[in-house]
Structure 1
Amino acid sequence: MTGTAKVLAISGGVGGAKLALGLANELEPEALAVLVNTADDFRHLGLQICPDIDTLLYTLSGRSNRSLGWGLEGESWQVMKALEELGGETWFRLGDNDLATHLWRTARLAAGESLSSVTRGLAQRMGVKVGILPMSDDSVSTVVHSDEGDLAFQHYFVRRQCEPQVSGFSFRGIEQASPSSELLQLLDSGQVAAVVICPSNPFVSVDPVLQLPGLWQKIAALQVPVVAVSPILAGQAVKGPAAKMLGELGQEVSAEAVMRHYSTHYPGFIDTFVIDQSDAALADQVADLGVSVAVTDTLMKSLDDKRRLARFVLSRAGH
Structure 2
Amino acid sequence: MKVTVLAGGVGGARFLRGLRTHLRSRYPNGDGGSTAEVTAVVNTGDDMWLTGLRVCPDLDSIMYTLGGANDDERGWGRQGETERVSAELTAYGIGWPWFTLGDLDLGTHIARSSFLRDGLTLTEATARLAERWNPGVRLLPMSDQPVETHVVIDVEGQRKVVHFEEWWVKYRANVPAQRFIQVGVDAAKPTPQVLHAIEGADVILIAPSNPVVSIGTILGVNGVRNALRAARAPIVGVSPIISGAAVRGMADACLTAIGVETTAAAVAKHYGSRSRGGGLLDAWLIDETDAASAPVLEAAGIRTSVVPLWMSDPDTSAQLAADALAAAIR
Q: Would you say the 8 A contact 2:212–2:255 is kept in 1?
A: no
| CA distance in structure 1 between the partners assigned to 2:109 and 2:201 by the alignment | 31
Q: Structure 2: how far apart are the matches of 1:233 and 1:186?
A: 29
Structure 2 residue aligned with 1:92: 99
1:307 has 2:304 as partner: no
1:274 corresponds to? 285
- 1:31-46, aligned counterparts within 5 Å? 31-46=37-52
1:15 corresponds to which residue?
Answer: 11
- Pair 60,113 (structure 1): closer, same or farther in 2 beyond 3 Å: same
Matches within 5 A, 1:181-200: 181-188=192-199, 191-200=200-209
Pairwise mapping of residues 165-176 of structure 1 onto structure 2 (< 5 A)?
Answer: 165-176=176-187
2:224 matches 1:201: no
Partners of 1:84 and 1:173 in 2: CA distance: 29
Instruction: Report if the CA contact (8 A) 1:276-1:297 is conserved.
Output: yes
Query: Aligned match of 2:137 in 127, 130, 135?
Result: 130
Aligned to 2:229: 220
Contact 1:29 1:130 in 2 (8 A): no
CA distance in 1, matches of 2:69, 2:167: 27
2:329 counterpart SS class: coil
CA distance in structure 2 between the partners assigned to 1:218 and 1:63 by the alignment: 33
Structure 2 partner of 1:47: 53
Q: Aligned pair 1:75/2:81, yes or no?
A: yes
Instruction: Tell me, yes or no, if the aligned pair for 1:236 and 1:253 is still in contact at 8 Å.
Output: yes
Q: Distance in 2 between matches of 1:212 and 1:251?
A: 21
- Cross-structure match for 2:30: none
Provide, for residues 213-270 of structure 1, a one-character-per-residue CA deviation record: whole Å limited to 9, x for no partner: 1212112212211000110101111211111233354443211111121118983320
> In angstroms, what is the RMSD of aligned CA positions?
1.8
Measured at CA, do residues 29 and 131 of structure 1 come closer, stay the same or move farther in structure 2, by a change above 3 Å? farther
CA distance in 2, matches of 1:26, 1:58: 19
Aligned length: 313
Secondary structure, aligned partner of 2:193: helix
* Distance change (3 Å), C-alpha of 1:251 and 1:213: closer
Deviates more, 1:69-78 or 1:137-146: 137-146
1:318–1:37 distance in 2 versus 1, CA, 3 Å: same
Distance change in 2, residues 1:172/1:78 (3 Å): same
Provide Cα deviations, 1:100-159, integer angstroms capped at 9, x if missing partner. Answer: 000000011011000001101111111223100100000111122333432221111112
User: Please, which moves more after superposition, 96-105 or 137-146?
Assistant: 137-146
Contact 2:146 2:184 in 1 (8 A): yes
In structure 1, the residue matched to 2:238 is 229
Name the SS for the 1:168 alignment partner.
Answer: strand
**Residue segments in structure 1 that go unaligned for 5+ positions in a row:** none
State the identity %: 36
Please give the alpha-carbon distance, in whole angstroms, between the structure 2 residues aligned to 1:171 and 1:87: 28
- Per the alignment, residue 113 of structure 1 pairs with 120
Whether contact under 8 Å (2:47, 2:54) holds in the other structure is yes
Q: 1:74 to 1:152 in 2, by over 3 A?
A: same
1:254-303 residue CA offsets vs partner (Å, 9 max, x unmatched) = 11111121118983320001111111111122223220011111000100
Distance 1:312 1:30, change over 3 A: closer
- Letter in structure 2 aligned against 1:142: T
Residues 32 and 130, structure 1, Cα contact 8 Å, conserved in 2: yes
Aligned partner letter, 1:175: D
CA contact (8 A) 1:30 1:131 kept: no
Q: 1:253 — aligned with what?
A: 262
The alpha carbon displacement at 1:200 in A equals 0.6
Name the amino acid aligned to 2:48: F
Distance 1:130 1:47, change over 3 A: same
Return the offset for 1:305.
0.9
Residue 169 of structure 2 is aligned to residue 161 of structure 1: no
Match of 2:67 among 49, 61, 67: 61
Residue in 2 aligned with 1:177?
188
Letter in 2 for 1:10: L
C-alpha distance in 1, partners of 2:297/2:273?
Answer: 13
8 Å Cα contact 1:231-1:237 kept in structure 2 = yes
Secondary structure of residue in 1 paired with 2:3: strand
